[in-house]
Amino acid sequence: MTDLVVIFRTHSDVEASVVRGLLEAHGVLLVVSSDVPHSIFPLTVDGLGEVRISVHRDDADEARRIIDSHRTELPNSRLVRLRDEFESLQAAIGYRFRDRGLLEHAMTHTSRANEDASGGVLDNESLEFLGDAVLGFVIADLLFREFPDFDEGEKSKTKAALVSTTTLARQAELLQLGDHLLLGRGEEKTGGRRKQALLADGYEALIAAIYVDGGIEQARAFIAREFAALIADVREHGVAGQDYKSALQEYLQSHDRGLPEYRLAGTLGPDHRKLFQVEVMVGGEALAEASGSSKKEAEQEAARLALDKLREP
């Protein structure tokens, strides 16, 4: 034990996990230790306990070099800690967290948590559950106030379109949320940062993190900003929910192509939050694949992606 040297200290479980994964990827043997049990959230507030990463004395200089190479150098030569990578995300969402650990928690996918042998890193599934409820309430309230002439069916249809996996994934893409997701190695290799389901889940978890950190008014303000253009579109064009399947069929017919076929490629997740993966085929060729909380939603998104592909110059 006397040959071990502490080369990194943090109060964030997630940051410790990032650094550990970085060093292990470079073949550096290490030991992780902490003074206190891990809390429910990977909080970054001083006093909650320090997480330390130690390596053999002979590896210390190389370990520090690896860590420093993954920090950002500023004009004044000050090094930004790894978790400050969320600075650009906070700027994009227009909200600054008092507890940045909540933001880390919201961005932590289950694949990253599963790779943590200590069990101290929690995934964002609980925040996603809460965010889904907060988003649904705020959108329902917005529709109630903005569209008093809509009947119950029109409000329900519009709400379903606004909170769908497809819409949330697009909103997440506008924030470049995928760049900030903390993923396991397997999910990273299979393009997890671009997967609709992961983006939508991360977006809901982000909403929950804002709610927990700043209260319902901060969450409401964020959602109102984010969905302002979509609400304006509903105001101009009426009930949301474009029929991309019909649009794709019309496009193909106008270009003397065969009718599209939709094939269920698979399902993901538990029964209570199952996602359907659907592939759209034309003349035996796969044009696009998408996922959704229902086959209908997945088919609509696959049709939209196919249209975008066909219309490319």
Out of 104, 116, 128, 132, the active site residue is 132
Residue 288 CA from chain centroid, whole number: 22
Of the residues 15, 85, 204, 289, only one is catalytic, namely 204
Contact 258, 283 (CB under 8 A): yes
Given a contact cutoff of 8 angstroms between Cβ atoms, the answer to whether 82 and 18 are in contact is: yes
Task: Report whether 163 contacts 156 (CB < 8 A).
Answer: no
**Tokens 């101009």 belong to which residue?**
236
132 classed as catalytic: yes
Q: Which of 144, 138, 142, 135 is nearest to 163 (CA)?
A: 135
**How wide is the angle at C-alpha 211 spanned by C-alphas 110 and 143, nearest 5°?**
105
Question: How do 261-268 and 79-80 pair as beta strands?
Answer: unpaired
CA distance 108 to 177: 12
In angstroms, the Cα distances linking 294 to 17, 165, 196, 216 are 35, 10, 13, 29
DSSP-assigned beta bridge partners for residue 33: 52
Contact, 265 vs 279, CB < 8 A?
yes
Catalytic residues: 132, 204
